[in-house]
Amino acid sequence: MEILRRDTLNQLKNSTSDMKSYDVRAVYTEPLWRRSLLNLVPSNSKKHSAKETFDYNKNNGKYDNPNNF
């Protein structure tokens, strides 16, 4: 006997994303000894993302039940 299971989710998902990247390259080469060099390269990046999920509310027909999972 085969049992079939069907799952459906009635949800609304909102996603936003913002990414900024700054790359400043300043290279200073300083001889430490006769056969070695020191090289410094700083870098900076910033990311932000957000996601909201709302379940369907049968009582009012809107997607206003927050789903925090």
* Residue 35 within a domain: no
User: Which range of residues forms the domain containing residue 54?
Assistant: 10-16+50-69
Q: What confidence score (pLDDT) does residue 21 get? A: 77
Q: 21, exposed or middle or buried, with CB in 10 Å at 0-12, 13-18, 19+?
A: exposed
Report the distance separating Cα 31 and Cα 37, nearest Å. Answer: 5
E strand or H helix that includes residue 11: strand 11-22
* Residue 58 within a domain: yes
Q: What confidence score (pLDDT) does residue 19 get? A: 81
Query: What are the pLDDT digits (tens) for 9-68?
Result: 788 888 888 888 777 666 666 666 666 666 667 777 788 888 899 998 889 999 988 888
Its pTM stands at: 0.44
Q: How far is CA 41 from the centre of its chain?
A: 25
| Number of domains present in the structure of the chain | 1
59 φ/ψ angles, rounded to the nearest 5 degrees:
-70, -40
Q: What confidence score (pLDDT) does residue 59 get? A: 93
* Residue 25 within a domain: no
